[in-house]
Amino acid sequence: MSTKTQIQNQTSQIDKRAVIAIARALAKRKSFAVWYGDVYDELRNIIEDDDEFHEVENKLYEDIVDGKIRNVYRFWGTCDASECDIIIVTPVGLDESQLKIVKELTGLYRFKGYDGDEEEREELTLTIHNLIKAWSSGCLKMSSPTEAIYALAKNYGLEIEEEERLDRWYAGQVFYSVEGLDVRIMKDIGYCNDCVDFDTNNNFIEKCKSWHFEDDED
């Protein structure tokens, strides 16, 4: 079986409600890094029937642990319960060296100096978020959790309504309404020279993109 076929089969086996729960957790935290408890709570809000909820939730957790959901990673968090696991969602996959760095950082959640200090734990979570943001961005793109949500939605077949507000130079905004989310995602498109490199004579103005939520403050 080809890799492409395997990915298609895995995609079809992921419950869309589970995908929406992950997307909602990212949108609520506005972070690449969330707690599995956040995802659990969002899924609980979607599925009312207890038996159905536990069936979907058990498979969701197994799929995350087994790495079956594309660009969704799970690491040990602050305790042994699954709700304490930290879930990281990225627009593009992490390589082995990046995964190793994140694993070292998430190991700090067990550092005894953080016992009872929620503020220090939140600072660590913010550090992980900023690291993913830096890896996912470049001189022509500023990433955010919205890009990870968009990629997740595209990969797993969530409905996405698109509205373009572009000028004649194709600069402006593109708005995305993702199934299951109350807030729209925005992609700003403009022109910049952030990739200027005089060593290589690259001094062109190029199209740049940035991702954020519609309700983000300027």
Q: Torsion over CA of 1, 152, 21 and 114, rounded to 10 degrees? A: 100
Q: Where are the beta strands (DSSP E) in the chain?
A: 33-35, 72-75, 86-89, 141-142, 160-166, 172-178, 185-192, 206-213
- Bridge partners of 164, per DSSP, are 174
Q: Please, what is the average pLDDT of the chain?
A: 88
The reply to whether 85 and 168 lie within a common domain is no
Final residue belonging to a domain, choices 112, 136, 160: 136
The reply to whether 128 and 150 lie within a common domain is no
Instruction: Read off the amino acid at residue 114.
Output: Y
Instruction: Read off the amino acid at residue 27.
Output: A
The reply to whether 125 and 72 lie within a common domain is yes
Residue 196 has a pLDDT of 60
Q: For the chain, what percent of residues have pLDDT higher than 90?
A: 68
**Owner of token pair 């969602």:** 89
Residue 1 has a pLDDT of 47
For 23-53, the pLDDT digits (tens) are 999 999 999 999 999 999 999 999 999 999 9
Signed CA dihedral, 32, 160, 176, 216: sign only: negative
Q: Which of 27, 116, 117, 128 is nearest to 76 (CA)?
A: 128
Let me know how many helices (H) and strands (E) the chain has, helices first.
7, 8
Average pLDDT over residues 157-179: 93
What's the token pair of residue 41? 């709570």
Given a cut of 70, is residue 66 above it in pLDDT? yes
For 75-131, the pLDDT digits (tens) are 998 888 899 899 999 999 999 999 999 999 999 888 877 766 778 888 889 999 999
The reply to whether 26 and 124 lie within a common domain is yes
Given a cut of 70, is residue 160 above it in pLDDT? yes
The reply to whether 7 and 35 lie within a common domain is yes
Low-confidence winner among 27-31, 115-119, 132-136, 140-144 (lowest mean pLDDT): 115-119
Distance CA 73, CA 94 (A): 9
Enclosing domain of residue 91: 3-136
pLDDT band at 202 (very low <50, low <70, confident <90, very high): low
Residue 122 has a pLDDT of 86
DSSP 92: S
Please give the backbone phi and psi of residue 166, each rounded to the nearest 5 degrees, phi first: -115, 145
- State how many domains the chain has: 2
Helix (H, G, I), strand (E, B) or coil at 192: strand
pTM over 0.85: yes
